[in-house]
Amino acid sequence: MQSLNSLTRAEKLRMMDALWDDLTHDIEPFQSPAWHEDVLRDTQQRVAKGEVETLDWEKAKQLLRNQLK
């Protein structure tokens, strides 16, 4: 098996595309763990109470990029 580090960006993107295509054609539905519903419900309640700051996607991406530098 080839190391990911030895692949070009184009090769990695082709692999990602092939994986995504395969996953989206999977006939078996994916079941989220039961705790996901609890976490989502808790987050919705915190947002409704104003306890959570929300960000638009562009700002969130920039913050994440800054943290990873």
Domain segments of the chain as ranges = 4-68
Contacting residues for 55 by C-beta, under 8 A, at least 6 apart: 63
Residue with tokens 């915190």, as numbered in its chain: 46
pLDDT value of residue 1 = 67
d(Cα 20, Cα 14) in Å, to the nearest integer? Answer: 10
User: What are 11-56's pLDDT values in tens digits?
Assistant: 999 999 999 999 888 777 778 899 999 999 999 999 999 998 889 9
pLDDT value of residue 15 = 94
Tokens of 36: 């996901």
What is the length of the chain? 69
